[in-house]
Amino acid sequence: MCNVVYEDNHLLIVEKPPNLLTQGDATGDPCLVDKMKAYLKQKYAKPGEVYLGCVHRLDRPVGGLVALARTGKAAARLSEQLRTHAMRRDYLAVVRGADVPDVCTLTDWLIKDEASGSVRTAPKGTTGVQEAVLHFATLARDRAQNRALLHISLETGRKHQIRVQLAGMGHPIVQDMRYGGGEAGEPIALWGAVLRLAHPTKGEPMTFVSRPQGRAFAAFGEAVDAFLRVQTGETA
C-alpha cells in the first residue's frame, strides 16, 4: 500500500512509489488512483464507485508526493491552484556531473515523439513544440562519484520536462533509463519531495515533504535531510 501522508474528507496526499502509474493508461497496468480508490472503499466500507480526482501526475518511474481530490469541489479548486501556480511542486534529483552550475534556469522547446513516447528538444517555432522552463539550485556535490544533488522547481509542467532538459544540458539524471541510462533494478534519482498548496475548502496553506528513496539519494543523506527541514520550517 502507498504511504498516506495526509487525509481528510476533501484531500488525500500520497507518496507514489517509483514505477507505478499515477493514473491508468492504455497498458492497463496498476495505477495509484485505482489503488487509493480501493484503499478508501475498504477503509470506509463505501458501496459503489469511489470518487477520487487526479489533479496532477508524476512520470511513471518517478516517486514522490501526489495530491488527490476526494470531492469534485476539491478537484476543481486544486486544479485551479495548479493552473495559477498557487500549488507548488519541488523536486530533488541526483545528476551526473559535479560541475553543474550553482544555480540555473533552463528554457527549452519540447516536442513529443508519439511513436516512442519520448520527448526531445526542438527549435522554437517547430510545429507542436511547447515551451519548458525550470529552475534549479545545487545543494551538494560528490566529486568522487562525479554527481550532484539538485533542488528543482518548475514554471511549466511538460511531459518528461525535468529529465529531458537536464539531459540536454549534459547532466542527465542518475538511473534515467530513457534519457541517460543506468543500472537495472534501481529507481530513477528524481523525486517529488515538496508539495505546497492551500486546503481546497479551508484555504489554509499546507506544506508536505517526502524523503527520496534509492541509493543515489542515500549518498546525499545529510543534504537531503537539511533541505527538507528548511521546507517545513525546522531549525535543527
CA gap 37, 21 in Å, rounded: 14
CA gap 164, 29 in Å, rounded: 24
Amino acid of residue 161: Q
Hey, which bits of the chain come out as E strands? 3-7, 11-16, 53-54, 63-69, 88-96, 103-112, 119-121, 130-142, 147-154, 190-198, 205-209
Q: Which residue(s) pair with 154 in the sheet?
A: 134
Q: Which residues are catalytic?
A: 59
CA gap 51, 69 in Å, rounded: 8
The C-alpha cell at 132 is: 519548458
Burial 129-156 (b: 16+ CB within 10 A, else e): bbebebebebbbbeeeeebbbbbbebee
Which residues contact residue 21 at a Cβ distance below 8 angstroms, ignoring those fewer than 6 apart? 27, 29, 30, 31, 32, 60
Q: Are 217 and 92 in contact (CB under 8 A)?
A: yes
The C-alpha cell at 200 is: 481546497
